[in-house]
Structure 1
Amino acid sequence: MKLSPIKFLFILACLNFAACKKESKTVSKEITPGIGEVFFQKGIKEKDPTQMLFTFEEGLERVNLKKDSISLYLLDGIIYVQKRQNNYESALNYTDSLIKTAVLQKDTYFVALGYYRKAAVFQALNNSEEAYENYYKSRDLFLQIGDSSQAGQRSVEMANAQSRMADYNGSQENATSALKLLIKAKDSSYINSAYNTIAISYRERGFYKDAIKEYRNALRYSISTKDSLSFLNNIALAYRDNGNYHRALSTFKGVLDKIEYADEDSRARFIDNYAYTKWMLDSSSPVLDELTQAIELRLKSKDLDGLTASYEHFSNYYEKEKPTLALDYAFKWLETAKKNSSQHSELNALKRIIRISPGESSKIYTNRFITLNDSLQNVQLKAENTFAKIKFDEEQKQQEINNLEAETVSQQLETEQLENQMIILSLGSLLVLSFGGFILYYFKQRHKKEKLQEVYNTETRISKTIHDELANDIYNMMGRLEPIATPDVLDNLASIYSRTRDISRANSEIDIGENYINHLLSMLSNAAPANTKLIIKGENAINWKGFSAEKKILIYRLLQELMVNMKKHSTASIVAIIFSRTENYLNIDYSDNGKGTELSSIKSGNGLKNVENRIFSVKGKINFETEIGKGFKTNLQIPL
């Protein structure tokens, strides 16, 4: 039996399996029947999450990750359970496995889904920067396959991540972009979320009338009474922030009339907001019972967000008549904010404590306030810069791709025009020249291949000789000298032995078969120092099967030389390698943020001469860009 994606999602929903309210639909294609599906079907019927996880994992052990599409579903199911059980580290590992497996199976949908699952885990860990970057990758992949709904949803989640980091301008920009995609896809559940996010950005910046307008737009697309009440509550808060207490109270009353449709946390929020607004309008209003009812509901459900609001309201309520009690609530506010990891609430609580504390006692909190305030400003600035950089880098990459595509189209048109002219002038001459050119090209290419193969054979032979003869001789000598030699001599011999082994490995035989790309990526990863972050993009968009053995060897050695040079001279913390392809060339863009060097020193040595020699041997192109203190970049163009 084949399991449709809709049925799969429905079953997960019925089991209350989803890790958050609005996680994506899981699948867009059917599953191939087999042993893996048997375990998958069994797993989704399990009521106990632990048993469900065990069944999914057992099924995963019995499938071929490279070929069986069911493996993607099993991995996704494991991520669901791990996230639901708060096993975030394990969930992250499985998201990496999901992405890798989807890449191997060339399933762009599941690659995008994997990045989305990864972002959701980071969001659960309150790491909005990592969440944003993975939402971004997921959105771009969904755009590539034309899934406007999923791309729009990811844009909303990007906007929410920015909002949590107080980057309200960036949040509004992404939410607005999301609307264009979601309206096209008629995805009402996320359209209202996009409008709500835009409204939050306006309200946080003091544009209350604009916020009210966007909250009303969200209300128009509401799909449940619960959501409608939440949007009406937000509208009332915006009225209150703008000083229009009567309009706020009128709106709150409409919410309270339907409070039976709200969950417990929402009930507490609505009651508290209504009572506090009445008190703001008239401080003699008898609202203590309502405020107490709200805080008791929040204490019962351990709603930390709600408790910070209640403690703040009680502190304000008692400030004039019972300042000691007001201070007590301010301290409760501060402690709850710390438990909730809400630095903004903590800052506001400190501000209140400093203001109402008697005498000199307020000074002990002043330094904490200053430090926290500076920290929040730095975090906000860092977030804005981080989000802007991610966006800029992706847009630059896309612009380069667009430019290359435009250049390719132009070259194609020029070539076609020239070919037409030559055909008109002399078809016979063209055939003769073409044939002669083909023969010349054939012998040149054969000579190049023979030359490259000879170099590779020489390197491999040297590697074998060093390993089998020199390294073994040194090792045997160390054994003989061990009883009589000094520790320094033995250490020097061990160092020489280690270097010979490194030379041997660096020139060892290269797997140029189906596992070539994995072998290449493994080499790059092993070549990067432990404290250096390696970023590789575009490798999966290249058809490596179309490259000859000689070209694969050349590419491997070029990148190996660059990584060795980086490790010796660069001290870089970030290295980026981006693969792309035009009609005539494979492009490899390498860059690092190391200490850089002068261009003149590259021509005189610096370990990069081998790179030039290798690429010139196939009539390729190379361009260096570097300055002292500004990192190192190079563009390699290898003829196809």
Structure 2
Amino acid sequence: MKKIQFLFLILIVLLSCRKGNTSVDSKFYKQAREFRNSNNTDSAFHYYNLAKNDYLKENDSIGAAKSLVNMAIIQTKKGDFYGSIETSLEANNLLKKERDSTVRSTLASSFNNMAISSSFLQNYDESAQYYIKALQYANNGENKFIYYNNIGDVLILQRKTKLAERYLKLAILAKDSINYSRALNNLAKARYLEDKKYNPLPELYKALEIRTRLKDSLEQNSSFATISDYYESKDKNKALFFAKQLLTTAQKIKSSDDEIQALKRIISLDSIHYLMNFKRFNAINDSVQTARYKAKNQFAIIRFDVEKIKAQNAEKEVQLLYRNIGISAMALTLIGIFFWIRRRKKRLEQEKELLKQEKELEVKNTQLKMSKKVHDVVANGIYQVMTKIENQEHFDKEETLDELEFVYEKSRDISYEKSDSEEPVEFAEKIFKLINSFKSDHVNPFVRGNSLNIWNGVSDSTQNEVYQVIRELLVNMKKHSQASLVAFKFERKDDLIHIQYTDNGIGIQNEISYNNGLRNTVSRMETIHGQIIFDTQTEKGLKIYISFPAP
């Protein structure tokens, strides 16, 4: 269980409560802190950005770095993990005097934040390295116990339980009750994972008792999750009970991440209410992913707007410098400009009218072209099939169905032809909308990894082939598979883009029968030097693996 809200609190305390700070808080920094304390993170991010620029003007690298780390923390809280790591790295580049106590504490907070983001991205090796870096710069107080525990927690996720125990034995020396209970919970978990005969329940229940006494709901959720996982293979009723406790508390404190973790457990433990819980999980997960996607764009816009204002102010200073010279020159050329503008305006109007006529002609030609294609391909094809049925008493039903499917494929290709005037749309968004368009009361599609950076550099022609292949798989699923769950996983690795399709339908019986649609998927992948593999060995459902070169 990632206790992100508590870790943010620790990070913010580290940054804002230092004594003997050599950097004086700017007015923007103070405003940012007020917004942050009132949980208005968007405004806080904006003012930290303004404070950073102010500090840089004054050559105050420490103040700028503190502002950046606070911005990075907010990004992590909102789910912009890659952006958060970039912002922390920007802060680290400003912190050169490592002997300075404020520099060291700021670096510790920055590396801790990078570790949290890396953990959410499941980059556990990097996360552990960043926690160790944070430990190097931490003071000798209670903060070190937090870092010891965090390192142990990540090592448990990597199944390096022996090494995790070493750090957690240090973390359990903490005097603070929250830090102690957290270390106790994780140490018991590590010992049990190392030795299945070990009984972790006394420590786990003790940690839960401390957290309950302190009324720390977030920490209680960590205990509920750990105990539920322990009972999963021993007593499913108890495992389900603690998973439901986790869900109830998560709803109470409005923690979407904890709700997702709870529902994952409940889905596997409560088969009777599987569909209801899966729908809840899907809705919450979609909401979280959408919020994180919006946050990423929002923070980028805020930083861009501030930089834009900064550039505009610099431009105004230059304009003021040359204004007097410009006025004198303008007075001499006003008459000439007047006549030039008049003549140019007339020419532009003529060009505009000509362009309008060309556009109208282009639209008519496009409509004519599309009408001709519909007539030649669709109408003629259907008429041919009708004639065959009418004139042949004993016609081949399978052959006739294949002919109709061919006409269907051609008509669909025409309907999806791209207009030159079509406004560009992010390919990741197009893929998401395509898959989501097949969502119904009977089918739940799920998408993972379809981020913007997956498609960086992929040509329009390749994007089109991939789009058509995915659409064909979805159509095939809708027509034949009887699936209720469909998942697409996107990944960019080793100079290849990988797409994994999975459904829980009836699968492919015996050998694959390549209809026109499936044949098209194979030929399309060959066109872009990729491959498509149908896994027919799966006991239930269907898995399809697609890969093609990434630029």
- TM interval, shorter chain, is 0.5 to 0.7
1:13: which partner in 2? none
Give secondary structure in 1 for the equivalent of 2:106: helix
1:222 is aligned, of 115, 135, 138, to 138
Give the drift of 1:174.
1.2
Give the drift of 1:166.
1.2
Give the drift of 1:337.
1.1
Mean CA deviation greater in 277-286 or 164-173: 277-286
Give the drift of 1:296.
0.5
Deviations 1:249-304 (A, max 9, x none): 22222333xx1x43000000000001012222333211111111110010011112
Is 1:177 matched up with 2:84? no
Amino acid across the alignment from 1:394 = V
1:162: which partner in 2? 75
1:391 is aligned, of 303, 306, 328, to 303
Is 1:265 matched up with 2:178? yes
Aligned counterparts of 2:222 and 2:66: Cα–Cα separation in 1 = 30
1:310: which partner in 2? 223
1:243: which partner in 2? 159
RMSD: 3.0
Within 5 Å, which residues of 2 pair with 1:102-181? Answer: 111-122=27-38, 125=39, 127-181=40-94
Amino acid across the alignment from 2:296 = E
Aligned counterparts of 2:264 and 2:285: Cα–Cα separation in 1 = 10
Give the drift of 1:349.
0.3
Unaligned runs of 5+ in 2: 1-11, 332-551
Is 1:325 matched up with 2:243? no
2:150: which partner in 1? 234
Contact 2:14 2:105 in 1 (8 A): no
1:294: which partner in 2? 207
Aligned counterparts of 1:28 and 1:328: Cα–Cα separation in 2 = 49
Contact 2:32 2:43 in 1 (8 A): no
Aligned counterparts of 1:331 and 1:382: Cα–Cα separation in 2 = 30
Contact 2:15 2:66 in 1 (8 A): no
Aligned counterparts of 1:200 and 1:324: Cα–Cα separation in 2 = 33
Amino acid across the alignment from 1:367 = K
Deviations 1:76-117 (A, max 9, x none): xxxxxxxxxxxxxxxxxxxxxxxxxxxxxxxx9652243233
Within 5 Å, which residues of 2 pair with 1:436-447? Answer: none
Contact 1:299 1:307 in 2 (8 A): yes
1:207 is aligned, of 123, 139, 143, to 123
Within 5 Å, which residues of 2 pair with 1:544-555? Answer: none
Contact 1:327 1:356 in 2 (8 A): yes
1:23 is aligned, of 6, 10, 16, to 16
C-alpha distance 267-179 of structure 1, shift in aligned 2 (>3 A): same
Deviations 1:18-38 (A, max 9, x none): x95642679999xxxxxxxxx
* Number of residue equivalences: 313
Contact 1:129 1:383 in 2 (8 A): no
TM-score (norm 1): 0.45
Aligned counterparts of 1:182 and 1:116: Cα–Cα separation in 2 = 21
Contact 1:278 1:285 in 2 (8 A): yes
Aligned counterparts of 2:20 and 2:127: Cα–Cα separation in 1 = 36
Amino acid across the alignment from 1:312 = A
Within 5 Å, which residues of 2 pair with 1:557-572? Answer: none
Give secondary structure in 2 for the equivalent of 1:286: coil
Give the drift of 1:347.
1.0
C-alpha distance 282-130 of structure 1, shift in aligned 2 (>3 A): farther
Give secondary structure in 2 for the equivalent of 1:216: helix
Give secondary structure in 1 for the equivalent of 2:254: coil
Contact 2:155 2:163 in 1 (8 A): yes
1:347: which partner in 2? 260
1:378: which partner in 2? 290
Deviations 1:190-213 (A, max 9, x none): 110011111222222122222222
Give the drift of 1:239.
1.7
Deviations 1:329-387 (A, max 9, x none): 0110001112222101111101111110142x233322221211111011001110100
Higher relative contact order (CA 8 A, sep 6+): 2
Give secondary structure in 1 for the equivalent of 2:79: coil
Aligned counterparts of 2:30 and 2:127: Cα–Cα separation in 1 = 34
C-alpha distance 269-315 of structure 1, shift in aligned 2 (>3 A): same
2:312: which partner in 1? 400
1:91: which partner in 2? none
Amino acid across the alignment from 1:232 = Y
Aligned counterparts of 1:340 and 1:370: Cα–Cα separation in 2 = 20
Unaligned runs of 5+ in 1: 1-18, 30-107, 416-436, 441-640
C-alpha distance 192-20 of structure 1, shift in aligned 2 (>3 A): closer
Aligned counterparts of 2:255 and 2:119: Cα–Cα separation in 1 = 19
Give the drift of 1:245.
1.6
Deviations 1:375-408 (A, max 9, x none): 1011001110100110111122223344555677
Give secondary structure in 2 for the equivalent of 1:182: coil
- Aligned sequence identity (%): 27
Is 1:357 matched up with 2:357? no
Aligned counterparts of 1:378 and 1:198: Cα–Cα separation in 2 = 22
Is 1:337 matched up with 2:250? yes
Deviations 1:587-618 (A, max 9, x none): xxxxxxxxxxxxxxxxxxxxxxxxxxxxxxxx
Aligned counterparts of 1:206 and 1:406: Cα–Cα separation in 2 = 48
Give the drift of 1:173.
1.2
Deviations 1:123-163 (A, max 9, x none): xx3x4323222322232233333333222212111111110
Contact 2:171 2:180 in 1 (8 A): no
Contact 1:139 1:154 in 2 (8 A): yes
Contact 1:24 1:150 in 2 (8 A): no
Deviations 1:417-444 (A, max 9, x none): xxxxxxxxxxxxxxxxxxxx9xx9xxxx
Contact 2:29 2:47 in 1 (8 A): no
Aligned counterparts of 2:196 and 2:253: Cα–Cα separation in 1 = 30
TM-score (norm 2): 0.52
Contact 1:271 1:290 in 2 (8 A): yes
Aligned counterparts of 2:25 and 2:258: Cα–Cα separation in 1 = 39
Aligned counterparts of 2:105 and 2:213: Cα–Cα separation in 1 = 30
Aligned counterparts of 1:176 and 1:337: Cα–Cα separation in 2 = 32
Amino acid across the alignment from 2:232 = E
Contact 2:25 2:63 in 1 (8 A): no
Aligned counterparts of 2:185 and 2:47: Cα–Cα separation in 1 = 37
Aligned counterparts of 1:308 and 1:389: Cα–Cα separation in 2 = 35
Aligned counterparts of 2:20 and 2:128: Cα–Cα separation in 1 = 37
2:114 is aligned, of 166, 174, 198, to 198
Contact 1:115 1:137 in 2 (8 A): no
